[in-house]
Structure formats: structure tokens, C-alpha cells
Structure 1
Amino acid sequence: MKVGAHESIAGGVYNAVDDQIEDGGNCGQIFTHSPQVWQDPNIGEEEAEQFRTLSAENDVGPWVIHSSYLVNLCTPKDDLREKSVDSMQKEVDAADALDVPYVNVHLGAHTGAGVENGLDNAASALDELDIPEGVTVLVESDAGSGTKLGDDFEHLAEVLDRSEQDLDVCLDTAHVFAAGYDLSSEAAVYDAVAEFDDVVGLEHLECIHLNDSKHECGTNKDEHAHIGEGYIGDEGMSAVVNHPDLADVPLVLETPHEDGRGFAWNIERVKELRE
């Protein structure tokens, strides 16, 4: 089973590998810079080489780069679109330098342009990218508050269909649940996976952000809980972890650090749930 967490790159991107190993993970995710500001990745070649070497020697991977929270692919505003495309180009280039196969991105919000225009904007923005060979952009599901897109499986399918790029998908269990797809029982998980397969296709599912939810299904509230201790609960989390069609999909945790528990506790919990 591939399971890991979103690790910090403080002090050097290679530190994320050591932290992942210490937490008991064997794959994971990073930001290349603070996600709350427009900032370029600042990773030197020597630092990148250490990351690549440590990951290879310890069989840690695949890794995912999560794009900046400021990126909005759906925006109708030219200046924000330009910044978003520029930021994403730098992320896919950083992924290439680090031998990271995936860059994860939220579609963003259409801010009044409408769903169809928002989806068109996202697909055409992604089409502007020069994505290096060996790197794939993953469109992430969203909890769906306001005019944000990606809460409906159809949104993900439409962007994949409208874009000329070879895109794939990352599903976040907390987001999917908040968006109204029940995951709190084995039957519900099987129904949701079957619907995703019908609408998008499981062949496009390359990563799962495995998070429990502090809020009920359909609330559009995105707040993560420890594995098994939110409204998805042990039964739902276990059903995701043990679903035969998801067995080989890397699981990346973005669970909280609270109650004296962090990534190590949650990764161990996932391993306990795996049958």
C-alpha cells in the first residue's frame, strides 16, 4: 500500500523525504513554496538532487506537488488567469526537476462567469502549459462552496474532455463527502466509486487525498479530521482503503496536527484499517 502525508520542505525539499520516513509513509505531497502567496519555487539543483536520491534510495514515491492556493484556472479575469498559468508552469517545471510525476491543482471559482464558462476557462488555461514529459497535472475534487468548481464529478470529466492535455484526477475524500457524495458506509463508498467510474473513469484516478471530515455530508465545508474520527468514520475510511479498485492508488494524508496526534498517528491508523 502506498500511503504518506503532505510534508514540509522547511530547511530544504529533501527534508520532506526524511520526515515522510519518520512518519511511516512511503509516498507523499509537498508545496514548493508558501501556498498563500505568489512565489516561485526556489529549489537549487543540488537540493533537487538530494531529494531525488533520498526518495530513490528509500523507495519513497510517488510524490505530488500541490499548487498554490491562489491559482484560479476558472477565473474570467485576464490578470489572475495569467498569474495562475505562470504559477502552474513553474510548478510542472519544478516537478520535472525533482522527478515528481504529479502536480495537483484545484479548478478554482468562476466568480460569476457561470459553470460552462468556468470549465472552458480552466481547460484552456491548462492548454497553455508546456508540461514536461513524465509530469501529469491532476485536477482535484473540491468541497464546492460559493462558485468553486470541482465538487461535481461532471466538472472533472468536462475539464478532462475539453482540455488537449493528458490530465488525470485526485479525489479528496473530505471534499467529495462535503460536496454531497456519501462515504460513511461500505455501500456508500462502493456507490460513489461506481459513479466516479461512470462519469470520469477510474483510469484517470492517480491519487487520493485521504482525509476524514469534521462536517456532515453535503455541507460544502472543507475541514479535515483524523482518520476515522470525523463524519466519514471508521467504516467509510476502511471501505476506501480496502476498495479493490482503489488498492493501487497512492493515499496522501492532509490530516490535522491536533490532540497530540499528527501524520504518524494517522498513517498508522490507515495501515491498521487495511485488511
Structure 2
Amino acid sequence: MKDKFIIGAHQSMDKGFEGLFNYAVEAQSNTFQFFMRNPRGSKAKDFDYKDADRLKELMEESSFGPMLCHAPYTLNPCSDKEYVREFAFEVMEDDIKRMEYFPGHLYNFHPGSHLKQGIDYAVEEISSLLNKILFPEMQTTVLLETMSGKGTEVGRSFEELKKIIDKVELKDKLGVCLDTCHIYDAGCDIVSDLEGVLKEFDSIIGLEKLKAIHLNDSKNPMGSHKDRHEEIGKGTLGIEAFKKIINHRDLRNLPFYLETPLDNWGHRDEVLLLKSLRDDYE
């Protein structure tokens, strides 16, 4: 039996939940990523249960893979300001409450920036937030995203993410989303030594914690700490790196989400390109 290739792109919520599904189908995808609210703000529309039920129905009929809800970029769970940390708590708590209406899916967030308070401070604040938000009955898996390490950004190394995970009580509700642009910009050579990078991830965090992949090429060289996404195959990672990633035995069964600087039609072309690179794809 051939493995299912679960791949999609970031989609707009402008036409509601059913619109997310329609955009994904248009892009030749079988999953998608989205923001529940303004990615650079805080506002979320009232939850439309009828629209949400329609999405669940369509995804089940089409055997879609898990969708991924991304937290707003404005959140900083380890800010030096209490009101900013409280804002992160309120938004994430509400997002996860909404995601629980869709059992078995994913919620991803950037760990934040410690603003010169130090990594130990950041670990305490982020883990404290997660210990308040996660609950035993929840069916959404919350993901910490690997980051490029610009400025005082947290998550630039597997060790930093492990420190957070170690302090979270409900570890079974927590996972990691690996962003290819971010870890390459952070200094992980996934172009020449993918096997070595994954071995390091496994030894520090454990591959069982890796739940999703953000597929992004990079505009900058390895170790640049810049975080500038590029279209697949048009950046410094190159097409062969992505062929290895989507076919790797430890990654191929994970869901892949594109965050490249393209519109829906451009994402369709990228999805088709990646499907052509997938071994034994039908």
C-alpha cells in the first residue's frame, strides 16, 4: 500500500470555512493551513457553526489530511510586558477552543522573542502559558515551530524547544512543526546533511514529536538568521533538497504545508511540482 502524500498551502479565510476547502481543492491539495483571525491583529469573526459543520463534512468526504491553524504573528508569549503575554494567552485559548470543534487537527505558534530577558526566562513564560492552556480532554495538538533565530527569537535550536517541552505537563498534547526555511536559516544543513539534522532532532527532542512540516525555500544562505521565504526550488535550498525531504522515510507520512510567497494558482503549481517529485505518486 502506497503512503498518502498530505500536502497543502496556506489559504485565506475570506470566504469562511467552506471557502478554505474550496481554495484547497482548487490548489490540488488535500489539506491546508489558515489563520483563525487577523494574522497581524487580534480580531476573529463570530464562529459560524453551520459553515464549520460543512467543512467537517467536506473534509471527511474527501479524506483530507489534518488542517493546521496558525496563531497570529503578533503573539509573544515570552514578552517582557505582562499585557502582551496576557494577550497571547487570550488569543491562543480562544483559537484552541474554536479548533476543538474540529477534533484531531493542529494548532501552530511561534514561541516568541525574549527581548534580552534571556532564554531561561522565555522557557518559563512559554511553558507556563502552555500549562494553562492545554487540558487532558483536548483533541487539538499544539505545535511549537522551529525558528530562524533572528534577534532574540526563541526556537532557533532543537535544544531551546526541548527545554520548553520538558517543562510542559501534558506533553502528549504538544509537538513540533519543522519549517525548512527557518531551520536552514538557523544553521541546520538540510541540503547536504538532512539525515544528520534529523538524527540530531531525534536525539534531542524525538522524531515522535515531529507532527508537521512547513515547506519553504529560503532567499538567504544557511545560517543567515533572516527568515525570508522563497518559492520551492527558487531559493538557496533548491529543488533536490525538497525531493529528499518529501520522500524521506521519517517525514513522508507527515502533513506538508506551503507558506511560499504565491497566490492560490501559484500554490497549485507548486503542489503539482512536489507531487511530481514524490516517489510512486499516483
Aligned-partner Cα distance in 1 for 2:168–2:96: 17
Aligned-partner Cα distance in 2 for 1:161–1:176: 21
Which deviations, in whole Å up to 9, do the C-alpha atoms of 1:175-204 show, x marking residues without a partner?
Answer: 01011101223xx11111111111111000
Alignment of 1:1-275 (within 5 A): 1-99=5-103, 101-131=105-135, 133-166=138-171, 167-185=174-192, 188-257=193-262, 262-275=266-279
Which deviations, in whole Å up to 9, do the C-alpha atoms of 1:214-244 show, x marking residues without a partner?
Answer: 1110101111111112101012111111111
Aligned-partner Cα distance in 1 for 2:40–2:151: 19
Which deviations, in whole Å up to 9, do the C-alpha atoms of 1:238-274 show, x marking residues without a partner?
Answer: 111111111111111111117x961101111111111
Please report how far the alpha carbon of residue 42 of structure 1 lies from its aligned counterpart in structure 2 after TM superposition.
Answer: 2.7
Q: Which runs of 5 or more structure 1 residues have no equivalent in the other structure?
A: none
Q: Which amino acid in the other structure matches residue 7 of structure 1?
A: Q
Alignment RMSD, CA only?
1.5
Please report how far the alpha carbon of residue 139 of structure 1 lies from its aligned counterpart in structure 2 after TM superposition.
Answer: 0.4
Q: Give the structure-2-normalised TM-score.
A: 0.93
Please report how far the alpha carbon of residue 76 of structure 1 lies from its aligned counterpart in structure 2 after TM superposition.
Answer: 2.9
Please report how far the alpha carbon of residue 57 of structure 1 lies from its aligned counterpart in structure 2 after TM superposition.
Answer: 1.2
State whether residues 29 and 65 of structure 1, in contact with CA within 8 Å, keep that contact through their aligned partners in structure 2: yes
Aligned-partner Cα distance in 1 for 2:134–2:195: 37
State whether residues 134 and 170 of structure 2, in contact with CA within 8 Å, keep that contact through their aligned partners in structure 1: no
Aligned-partner Cα distance in 1 for 2:67–2:86: 26
- Deviating runs (4+, > 3 A) in structure 1? none
Aligned-partner Cα distance in 2 for 1:156–1:108: 12
Please report how far the alpha carbon of residue 98 of structure 1 lies from its aligned counterpart in structure 2 after TM superposition.
Answer: 3.1
Of all paired residues, the percent bearing the same amino acid is 33
Q: Which runs of 5 or more structure 2 residues have no equivalent in the other structure?
A: none
Which deviations, in whole Å up to 9, do the C-alpha atoms of 1:39-76 show, x marking residues without a partner?
Answer: 23532111111111111111122001000111111223
